[in-house]
Amino acid sequence: MDLKICVPRGALFEESLEALSAAGLPIEPLVNLGRKLIVECPGGPTYITTRPSDVPVYVESGAADLGIVGLDVLVERQPDVYELLDLGFGGCRMVWATEAGEDPAAGAIERFGVVRVATKYVNVAEAWFEQTGRKAEIVKVNGSVELAPLVDLADGIVDLVATGTTLRENGLVEREQIFESSARLIANRASHKLESEAVDELVRRFAERAR
């Protein structure tokens, strides 16, 4: 198998290894990866490891044939790739959250005609507020987005949450769910055609595991 598979480091890494193993792919070189970024498996795939947000970049460009990435990244980035399968792990949700108590968004829109939203998911936030008929001023942040409402940088946040513990610990509550997210298998468009037999077989194996 000559496929190049992009694997996300971070929260999805361990479950990605489990999915790869269940699909019959060798994962031993990935178990003690250390700082290595590329791992070649004799007779198997070549693994490329990177931050989750960069997975679709490598797949879209053809540097990788396949990749594992959260739906949140796909919705935000809108890469030109094939989304082949919901892998059934990494479940979380994209939400609009504010401080507890009276919803500050309603008050902000009534007084100023706009709600200030802190997020690293700029495209998701813009699309959601436009879709729901509200004018939003987006403040892009890359760190602890939960801080923004606490220091009056924004009225609320759009962010990805799993258990909601971080929100609760900072006095925030979920107001609206935008969409549910999970890990997806994606493919480069050219690779999907040129390596269709190998890709289709892998999709079948992943699908069996995801059931």
- From first to last of the 211 residues of the chain, give the pLDDT tens digit: 689 999 999 999 999 999 999 999 999 889 888 888 999 888 789 999 999 999 999 999 999 999 999 999 999 999 999 999 999 999 999 999 999 998 888 889 888 899 999 999 999 999 999 999 999 999 999 989 999 999 999 999 999 999 999 999 999 999 999 999 999 999 999 999 999 999 999 999 999 876 6
pLDDT of residue 125: 98
What are the residues whose beta carbons fall under 8 Å from the beta carbon of 154, sequence distance 6 or more? 116, 117, 118, 139, 148
Tokens read off for 14: 């361990």
pLDDT of residue 210: 67
Rounded to whole angstroms, the Cα distance separating 137 from 135 reads: 7
Fold agreement (4-91+182-210, 92-180): yes
Amino acid present at 19: A
Amino acid present at 154: A
pLDDT of residue 35: 86
- Residue 38 sits at φ, ψ, to 5 deg, of -130, 130
Domain extents for the chain?
4-91+182-210, 92-180
Concatenated DSSP letters of the chain: ---EEEEE-STTHHHHHHHHHHTT---HHHHT-TT--EEE-TTSPEEEEE-GGGHHHHHHHTS-SEEEEEHHHHHHH--SSEEEEE-S-S-EEEEEEEESSS-HHHHHHHHHS-EEEEES-HHHHHHHHHHTT--EEEEE-SS-TTHHHHTTS-SEEEEEESS-HHHHHTTEEEEEEEEEE-EEEEE-HHHHHHTHHHHHHHHHHHHHHH-
Q: 92-180, superfamily in CATH?
A: Periplasmic binding protein-like II (3.40.190.10)
Q: Residue 164, class by beta-carbon neighbours within 10 Å (0-12 exposed, 13-18 middle, 19+ buried)?
A: middle
CATH number, span 4-91+182-210 = 3.40.190.10
